[in-house]
Amino acid sequence: MRLRRSPTMNRKAETPSANQNDCLDPTSVIIASAGGINPAGRSSDHQAFLRVVYDALPAELQASTNAALATLTGNANDEANLNGTLVRAWDDDTHAVRGWSPEAMVFHQPVTESSDQGLRSSNRKPDLNNPSLNDPDLNTADLSKPSLNTSNARPLTESTAPLRTRDTGNSLVTNPKQDNGISTYQVTYKRCAIQSAGQLPQGFHPGSLYKSKHHPRGLQMALYAAADALGNLGMNADELKQHLAPDDIAVYMGSTAGQLDMEGFGGMLCAPLLGQRNTSRQLPMGISTMPADFINAYLLGNAGSTGSNNGACASFLYNLRMALDDIRSGRRKLVLVGNSEAPLLAGIVEGFNAMGALATEERLQALQGCSSGQQTDTEPGALTTANSQPDYRSASRPFADNVGFTLAESAQCFVLASRDTALELGLNILGGVGDVFIHADGYKKSISAPGIGNYITMGKAMASAQRALGKDALKHSFVQAHGSSTPQNRTTESDMLNRLANAFDLTDWPVCAVKAHLGHSISAASADQLLMTLGSWTHGILPGITTAPAIAADVHQARLNIPLAHTPIAPRDIDLAFINSKGFGGNNASAWVLSGHQVTARIQAESADNEWQTYLERNKVVKEKQQAYLTAVSRENLSLPYRDKEKQPEPDDIELSTEGMSLPGWSERIVF
């Protein structure tokens, strides 16, 4: 039967307020589940959160976290798994996993050849212990392998003369058979200036859990995130279809950069330079909304609303606002919302580095006293030996002395439901979404520089929460800051937070910055922040910036408390959380969310005893299914419920009238 407002779910009368029209009900949109994968591990059961705060956990929780990582990575070595998670130096299997080597990035260097005098070049072909890069018979065909991201481009002339490839001993050169001096290119290599990243746990490969041939990594991760969220929800897709109509459901999930690996836009753009044809898959696979499309087509069979709103590094909060508006307006009853970003590709790394945004190896060496050999301190992020490598673990240092952010990959998916849907289905209540605010910066001197828009979004979020919850609620709040680990961010975001704390009469306001551990996953960054917030509410720990010995001198913190250590705290002291995000171009977004404890208490207080008891009975069944999933996934990496052989609905399969239509597999009709 189609879900509708039950007469037994009427709320108790609410006290009128002078600002009632401006107040939002924080129990109207429920966070019912979370799933995904990031550098800390699996999202369900708060496993990623537990890895982040591992050093603050009791021995029992450390053991269960180690066991979960062992299952995820297929490696029983606890030390290796701890070292193979969070921000770190590039894994030694980066070439095999991502198709490029940070030790030898392939690129074309312009050279000039006059007659047969040879080529002027000082580049040496490095020994990578990789047969594909050291084969003495390497030729043009070998260079066109997509896994190398190389290209044998013709010189920039109108000549169509035959090409020849020569191995000069230093590098491989492609040039036309012409005697006059011309511009041409040689395929050569360089060491990447960026030597650290937030990579998925080493040994975990999402594409191994289903038939993923020709699928970009970001889409593999998106399917894993959605499957994990459904497992953690305690209801699978078929069960949802028995209670909801197709237009009751929406999926809002995407990426900022699209899928730029060789299976997506990257391969499409490189094909002419590689002497290859484009495939029919590369263009659609690269589209930024494809994470939602894959979930609809191969996991849910969803025929409801879909899409993604791209707001650069704030994209998840843009999607969250779409989900919030849909549910609050009554257009949807259940929404899967998230983002999936796999940006650890040579071109993207080089692009961000060209902006001066990333923490390069050279800058880290200078920051940590590498080149001088000075013993700067003995805390995390410090080095004591001259000319040694930087501490890549401490590359990301929000609000501390820092030199740029650390790029990361992540896919997160949250299941949101209307209050009535959550109660009637017995869904878990992890929290409630209050509101999301989005603003631009106005005029800008630099499109990538921060501006005034974030003052507006956070100010509005704080005022909205205060109207809905009361003035004292802000005293029991904390901030999940954008905290990107750039010098500009540490001063501008801290100034904004400190000034707003003063305006709202807050002191010692806790500010967390989880990019210190996870890195910056671009569109999924604020989703990582929300995930960590759910973990703090459950386990009573605020993640600290353990990658730095001190807060930078230019950070504004008179009214802030930016912990450098993981801090135990009573969950009820942080019932309200603000998620802040800033993106290139002036994409600013801030949200406020309320803890599951507070949301549950409010709903129970507004429900009759028999109504609440009915919910608890339904929730017991859901919890049993959820626990069955969590137990199973802790023992083995489960195959994803990928459905690429399902019968596609045809026009003859539907029953159509002026009032609506039915779809096979769904119990409820679509209403026109």
Report the residue count for the chain. 672
Sign of CA pseudo-dihedral 534, 537, 540, 545: positive
CA pair distance 543, 513, nearest whole angstrom: 8
Residue type, 383: L
CA pair distance 112, 121, nearest whole angstrom: 9
Cβ proximity of 357 and 450 under 8 Å: no
Strands (DSSP E) contained in 177-324 are 182-190, 196-198, 249-254, 305-307
CA pair distance 32, 9, nearest whole angstrom: 18
Structure tokens at 404: 């740029």
Task: Write the DSSP assignment of 179-212 as a string of letters.
Answer: SS-EEEEEEEEE--S--EEEPPPTT--GGGGTT-
Strands (DSSP E) contained in 375-449 are 410-418, 431-439
CA pair distance 7, 642, nearest whole angstrom: 38
Instruction: Output the CA–CA distances (angstroms, integers) from residue 336 to 218, 574, 639, 653, in the order listed.
Output: 17, 26, 20, 26
Residues acting as catalytic residues: 313, 482, 520
| DSSP letter assigned to residue 300 | I
CA pair distance 4, 463, nearest whole angstrom: 32
Structure tokens at 397: 């240092």
CA pair distance 79, 76, nearest whole angstrom: 9
Task: Write the DSSP assignment of 435-504 as a string of letters.
Answer: EEEEE--SS-SSTTS--THHHHHHHHHHHHHHHHH-GGGGGGEEEE----S-HHHHHHHHHHHHHHHHHT
Task: Write the DSSP assignment of 63-130 as a string of letters.
Answer: HHHHHHHHHHHT---HHHHHHTSSEEEPPTTHHHHHS-BTTBEEEEEEEEE-TTS-B---------S-
Q: Which residues contact 461 (CB under 8 A, 6 or more apart)?
A: 434, 435, 436, 437, 578, 590, 591, 592
CA pair distance 311, 274, nearest whole angstrom: 33
CA pair distance 591, 326, nearest whole angstrom: 16
Tokens 């060496």 found at = 365
Sign of CA pseudo-dihedral 230, 234, 239, 243: negative
Other C-beta atoms lying within 10 Å of the C-beta of residue 657: 9
Structure tokens at 248: 């009751």
CA pair distance 531, 316, nearest whole angstrom: 12
Residue 104 has phi, psi (to 5 degrees) of: -155, 80
Structure tokens at 636: 């083995």
